[in-house]
Structures are given as structure tokens and as C-alpha cells.
Amino acid sequence: MHSAPRTEYKRNIKWKNALSFIAFVGPALLFFLVIQIIPFFMGIYYSFTSWNGISAAVEWVGLENYIKIFTNDKKFFNSFLFTTKFMIAAVIISNLLGFALALMLNGALKTKNLMRTVFFMPNVIGGLLLGFIWQFIFVKGFASIGKLTDIGVFKLAWLGDEATAFWGIVIVFAWQTAGYMMIIYIAALQGVDKSLIEAARIDGASNWNVLIKIIVPLILPAFTICFFLTTSMAFKIFDINISLTNGGPFNSTESVAINIYREAFQFNNFGLGTAKAILFFVIVAAFTTVQVIMTKRKEVEV
């Protein structure tokens, strides 16, 4: 006799749960579909065309764009080589600096909260604004310091020479991202069991041995996250790059993102530009996947 009302009650609960799910998750899914998924598949389609991004006529050319990239586009491969070198240098320096700051500010410093805020602040500044600020520092600030102190480092043409322009971009990227990595490392360090460190010190372990043998193995998941974030951000660098050097001098610091942007929106080769973007997406996805698998494997071994 009571089974029918109970079944109806359960059905109403399911409907309420479904409506709540749609109300809270539906808008996010809709925006993700419209902004991410649909444009991605449209990009795949346009990569097989010769569309210029303006006209209504879209001519299907098959694999012609991809063949052109591999056979007759030296600038794209030069930009990819620059981006790869930049990624390696930026990931290493950003994580070393972030980890060093985390170790320093995880102690019992009275000003540690203030210092954490100060070091994190560059991360909330927009990349374009950050690039223009540092462009002024490199061009005007360093030149003034060089005249006053006669120190050779400050007298270099930082953004006017290929080698120094490369390191200039690395410095700005590391300065922006190190604070973000610092926060992740601090969170991981605070989860380390202090009794393990105290036991190691009682047994006579040096600070270096405690760091290498205990702390680093215990926070490997944080390294996995930070390496993934900095790798993906370094590969996709655009705003800092374009505001600091605009790919110069002589296209020596042109990243893949700038090369794709120019191909699609300046030269109106939208089909070729999207083909480069799809190819770049596959390479970055493969590289970051391998990196995560390798670091995860290290976590399991430990």
C-alpha cells in the first residue's frame, strides 16, 4: 500500500537532484561547449582548407597545409625551436626559484605572510602590462644603472641582441610565475610530517640530506603539478613575448603562438594558421602527458 507513495517520493528526489545539477553545472558546460569544444572542432575543419578568415568561400585543400608546414615553413620550425629552448630554461628557473622561496618562507619568519604576498603579486599582473613594464626596465632602467655604475651587465642591449633577448624573456617569465609555484610548494611543505625531519636531525642528517632524502621525495606531487603548469605556460607564451620583443630582433625570439597569430590574422592565412595551431596542440599535449607520466612514475617509485 505504501510502495507507490515511496516510489513517487524517490522519483521527485531524483528530479530535484537532476534539476539542481543542470542549474549549477549546465551553464558552465554550455560555456565550455561554445567557447572551447565547438571552436576546437571548427579549427580542425579549417586546418584542411585555404580559408583567409574573411571571405565566405572556404576551399577544401586536404593535407596541403600540413605538407606545407613540414616542407616549406622554416620560420615555424625556428619559432618552435626557440619555444622549446625557452620552455626548458623557463621551467627549470621558475621551479628552482619558486622552491627556494617556498623553503625560505616556510620557516618561522615574522614577515613571511607579507613576503608571500609580495612574491605572488607579479602573477596577478597581466602579461602585456608586465612585458611593457620590463621593457622600460631593460631599455631605460638598466641603461641608467649602467651609466651610474659602469657595470657591464646593465650596459648590454638586453632586448636588441638575440642571446640577451632570450634571457630577458626567461627572466620576466620566471619573475611572474615563481610566486605561483612558491604557493604550491609551500602548501606541500606544510603537509610534511615534522617528526620525520626531527628524527633525521637527531640521527645526524645534514640540512642537505634532509632536503634531498626526505622533503623532496615527500612533495613530489607538488613538483608534478608545478612542472605541468610551467611547461604548458612556457609553451604557450605570447603576451610577455609580444610586449617585450615582438618576436625580434630579426624573428629570433618569435614563439610558436606569435607565429600562428601572424599567419592567421596578419597574413590572412587562416587555414594554414589553424593547421599550425592543431599541430602545436598535439605536440604540447604529447609533451605534457609524457612529463606527467614520468613524474607520476617517480612518485610511485618513492
User: Mind listing the pLDDT tens digit for each residue in 183-194?
Assistant: 999 999 988 888
How many structural domains is the chain composed of?
A: 1
Question: Is 227 part of any domain?
Answer: yes
Question: Is 79 part of any domain?
Answer: yes
All three cell numbers of 144, joined, read 641608467
pLDDT tens digit sequence for 132-147: 889 999 988 988 898 8
Q: How far apart are CA 61 and CA 42, in angstroms?
A: 15
Question: Is 213 part of any domain?
Answer: yes
pTM > 0.75: yes or no: yes
Residue 49: beta bridge partners? 60
Over residues 297-302, mean pLDDT: 65
Q: How far apart are CA 151 and CA 137, in angstroms?
A: 16
In the structure, what pLDDT confidence band is assigned to residue 4 with cuts at 50, 70 and 90? Answer: low
* Three-class DSSP category at 253: coil
Domain that holds residue 285: 72-301
pLDDT tens digit sequence for 19-42: 888 888 888 889 989 988 999 999
CATH number at residue 97: 1.10.3720.10
Q: What is the pLDDT of residue 299?
A: 67
Question: Is 123 part of any domain?
Answer: yes
